[in-house]
Amino acid sequence: MNKNAEKLWFSAFGGSPPKEIGYVNAGEHTWTEGVKKNSRAIQEEIASFLEEHPDKLKPYFNKTLVEGKKNWRALSFKIWGWPIKENVKECPLTQKVMESIPGIVSYSVSMLEPGVDIKKHRGDTNAIIRGHLGLLIPAGLPLCGFECDGEQRAWKERELLLFNDSSKHRAWNHTDKRRIVLLFDVIRPEYIRKKRRVCATVLAALVSQKVAGAFAGKGMLSKVILAPVFIVAYVAVYLLSLFRS
């Protein structure tokens, strides 16, 4: 990543992020060795969990990025610093490995059904490195793959694909089988001191957008309530994170 780039960007506030590289070299981060070493065990643990609890997978929160509610589903273990205890207790090894990563803030299972495209988009912030660990990959390019900053790459089972989540990216699965990865977010080293602020901002934005969505069709009302809801949510999340430290 660009070590000189220290301008925080959040998609909720609009504008364009600083121009930075798309893909991230896994060799630049020592924590990747622990993930690779345990990749098979993680793959087996999650496969067993999904087999026993397929109902745990829920439609991805942003339904505008794909066609169909159940085409892109996820199972969260941790969301921007907040663990989902009922899920992490079922996958203790996955939790142990992920929590050993400095700056880890989120990790979840991401399942893409056959014949589905995720539209090109940017993530929530440039403060993170997003990682994919291939768990079930039905094929390589051109049938199943990922594109970041205009460059296409294929997932591989038990291998890592790291990228800058604020760069435009998309994914597709044009096979007749599911694609499953372990998706995770790691605060970049230059932003580690702002970890609490980053998590609070993204969570507050998600909450305020959800509330505003409930008032869709109400005209100006949905826009009027957006700012105060964001402020209240941000303060609440930030303060709660202090008590949890």
* Domain range summary for the chain, segments of one domain joined by +: 11-191, 193-244
- Beta strands per DSSP E along the chain: 23-24, 58-59, 72-79, 82-83, 104-112, 116-121, 128-136, 144-148, 151-153, 160-164, 169-173, 179-187
Whole-number pLDDT of residue 225: 64
pLDDT exceeds 70 at position 140: yes
> Residue 219's pLDDT is what?
54
**CATH topology for the 11-191 domain:** Jelly Rolls (2.60.120)
Q: Cβ neighbours of residue 156 under 8 Å, at least 6 residues apart?
A: 134, 137, 140
How far CA 186 is from CA of 80, 100, 101, 118, 128, in Å, comes to 10, 11, 8, 22, 5
Helix (H) or strand (E) segment spanning residue 48: helix 39-52
pTM of the complete model: 0.88
Mean pLDDT for all residues in the chain: 89
pLDDT over 60 (residue 221): no
